[in-house]
Amino acid sequence: MTLGRPARKQRAPFGERLHDLRQRAGLSQREVAEKLGMSQRAYSHWERHPVALRPEQLWQLAQVLGVSLDELIAGEQMAARKRGPKSQLEQRMEAIAKLPRSTRQRIMAVLDAFIAQHNATS
């Protein structure tokens, strides 16, 4: 199901993986963008250009596409190598990603303050 116009230039490796995972999930760019609360044009930029996404964006994206964070970031081969249960941090990050945006922003502010304080004392 290829819709839209084809890319004029080769995608970055992450953009290519994002494109393939989206198509495997049977979603259009517009559907993914709506689920992420952004415009289709902004999401399209993620697939076509190198981007630096925030951790919460990666978590949301993995959930929307129905893949693990490892598969989203490193691809199928790396995700298949992972063994054992999810760490407590991964479990908490997944729970945080499900919270409303305003709540996630408050949590990130607390974490940022804690990290800054820790770095200042180190």
> What is the domain range of residue 104?
84-122
Looking at the fold, whether 78 and 117 belong to one and the same domain comes out as no
Domain count, the chain: 2
Looking at the fold, whether 63 and 3 belong to one and the same domain comes out as yes
Of 72-81, 89-98, 113-122, the one with minimum mean pLDDT is 72-81
Residue with the two structure tokens 């930029």: 45
Of 19-28, 52-61, 69-78, the one with minimum mean pLDDT is 69-78
pLDDT, position 18: 92
Rounded average pLDDT over 32-51:
92
The enclosing domain of 74 has a CATH number of: 1.10.260.40
pLDDT, position 94: 86
At CA 57, angle to CA 89 and CA 98, rounded to 5?
60
Looking at the fold, whether 27 and 78 belong to one and the same domain comes out as yes
Secondary-structure percent of the chain, ordered helix, strand, coil, rounded to 5: 70, 0, 30
Structure-derived torsion over alpha carbons of residues 61, 101, 46, 15, reported in degrees to the nearest 10:
-20
